[in-house]
Amino acid sequence: MKKVLGILTLVMVFTLITAFQAYSHEGIFTILSTGDNYTQTNALALSMRTSNLGYEVNVLLCGDAVNLALRKDTTCSVAPADKTPWQMLGGLIARGVPVYVCPLVFNNPPYENQINNYGLR
C-alpha cells in the first residue's frame, strides 16, 4: 500500500511540475506533501537538477513533508542521489532556493514556534 501511495504521489508531483514547466519557462514549483523518503528524494532530485540548469526553483512543504524540515535525518539515504531528503533540502536552502511551509502548519502543534528557526518562509 505504501508503495502504491508513494508511486501515486510521485506521479502527481511530476505531473504538477510538468504542468508548471509548460506554463512557465522560468523554473519549477515543487510541492511536497508526503513523508515517504523515496518520493521526497525524487522530487528534490528533480528540483536540484533544475536548479543546476539555472532555472528558478521554489519548494512548498505541506502535511507530513513539514517533518522533513524539522528532523535531522541522516540515516536513510536513497538512490540515485545517495543522500537523505533532509540533506537534499538543506542543499537547496544553501543555494538560496526559497522553501515555504503550508500556512496552516504555523499555528498548530507540534510545529508552532518552530518553523522560523529553520530558515523557512
What ranges do the domains of the chain cover? Answer: 21-118
pLDDT of 118 > 70? The answer is no
- Confidence category of residue 14, pLDDT binned at 50, 70, 90: low
Cell reading at 35 = 513523508
In 3D space, the residue among 12, 10, 97 whose CA is nearest the CA of residue 58 turns out to be: 97
Q: Which pLDDT score is estimated for 13? A: 61
At the second CATH level, the architecture of 21-118 is 3-Layer(aba) Sandwich (3.40)
- How does residue 107 score in pLDDT terms, banded at 50, 70 and 90? low
CB 30 within 8 A of CB 44: yes
What confidence tier does 56 reach under pLDDT thresholds 50, 70, 90?
very high
